[in-house]
Homo-oligomer: A and B are copies of this chain.
Amino acid sequence: VTTNQPHRQTGKARRVTLADVAERAGVSAQLVSLVMRGRPGASPANRERVLQVARELGYVPDARARVLRQERTNLLGVMFHLQQPFHADLVEGIYAAADAAGYEVVLSAVTDTRREDRAIETLLAERCEALILLGPGTPTRQLVELAARLPVTVVARGIADPAIDVVRTADAKGIQLAVDHLAGLGHSRIAHVDGGDAPGAAQRRKGYRDAMRRHGLTDFIQVVPGGLKDDDGARATRQLLDSPHPPTGILAFNDRCATGVLDALYRARLVVPDDVSVVGFDDTHVAAFSHVDLTTVRQDAAVMARLAVDQAVGRLDADLGEAGHEAVVPPTLVVRGTTGTPPSPMN
């Protein structure tokens, strides 16, 4: 039934409450509460009647009052970075997993003008029972303090503290896959444009060095300072091209960095993959863009999201004990069009 009031109400318009529904339906408030939550304890006739009236009145239960009253809030707080495509994939998975576990998700974004501490504070104020932090840059010390208040799961960043649960990709393993792939194609001069102090960067550097050694390519190890953005990749690549023996293969810290690498190569009139092969990391949809067609190391967002929710819910519902849990998700290599055999097979 459409209400025919003046169609713009003021912000102060009174909300339809549970009591309104009860009165109109001629039952107690308690009964309405049960019906709205889909709990047993109401006769079919009454249930039907209540739902009918609620619909008529446009009643929407007040989530805030509900949470205030309940012992448990069933709220999972998620902090994410708005400008990271990979976080969008994770949040999507978290919504699904939380739903399945019977939890609500409260989102709090980090932007240029809204820092992580602010985002976390909001989540605490909203009475979240546990926090899932995506790629936090907050110092470990502060995260540990936070974990003394409520369960904290960190995703996509390794934290070596037992107070905190972690879900991360096996970064070293991922970059090893990339090295194996290029070495298998016959590449020797394989360079790594790193991620500085970004989450996972240290592990990827180490994984790169180890893999190179395993392939007997110790002498060709070359790590240049990069970063998370395309500019970083482009800058690093120009530096690589200036060296006496430029690499025939480049492993970028992430996909975005890799696009910068591709651009710098392109501008230097080099052909990918004929002259130089390039591998990214993440498999964001940028990589899948057919125009970019980037060979990359794929992180499985859906699995990571589910594991993060499992850990948080596990702390809340079951008793996972005191020790911190670390879930390491194996990455996979997605071979696309930016990798091939090196120009001269024998160096």
A interface with B by C-beta (< 8 Å): 2-3, 5-9, 11-13, 15, 58, 60-65, 67-68, 71-72, 82-83, 85, 88, 91-92, 95-96, 99, 104, 107-109, 111-114, 121-122, 124-127, 129-130, 145, 147-151, 163, 230-231, 234, 256, 259-260, 262-264, 266, 285-286, 289-293, 315-317, 322
B residues in contact with A9, CB < 8 Å = 148-150
The 3 A-B pairs at the shortest CB distance, nearest first, are namely A263-B290, A263-B291, A63-B125
Say which residue of B95, B125, B292 sits within 8 Å of A114 (CB atoms). Answer: B95
Most buried by B among A85, A293, A322: A85
How many copies of this chain sit in the oligomeric assembly? 2
6 A-B contacts, Cβ less than 8 Å apart? Answer: A2-B148, A3-B148, A5-B148, A60-B121, A260-B290, A262-B291
- Which of B58, B99, B292, B317 is close to A291, meaning CB atoms less than 8 Å apart? B292
Write the chain B residue with the least CB distance to A294: B291
Q: Closest CB of chain B to A15's CB: distance in Å? A: 7
Provide the residues of chain B in CB contact with A148, threshold 8 Å: 2-3, 5, 7-9
Given A145-B2, A234-B290, A260-B291: A95 touches B71 (CB 8 Å cut-off)? no
**Cα A291 to Cα B112 with chains together (Å):** 25
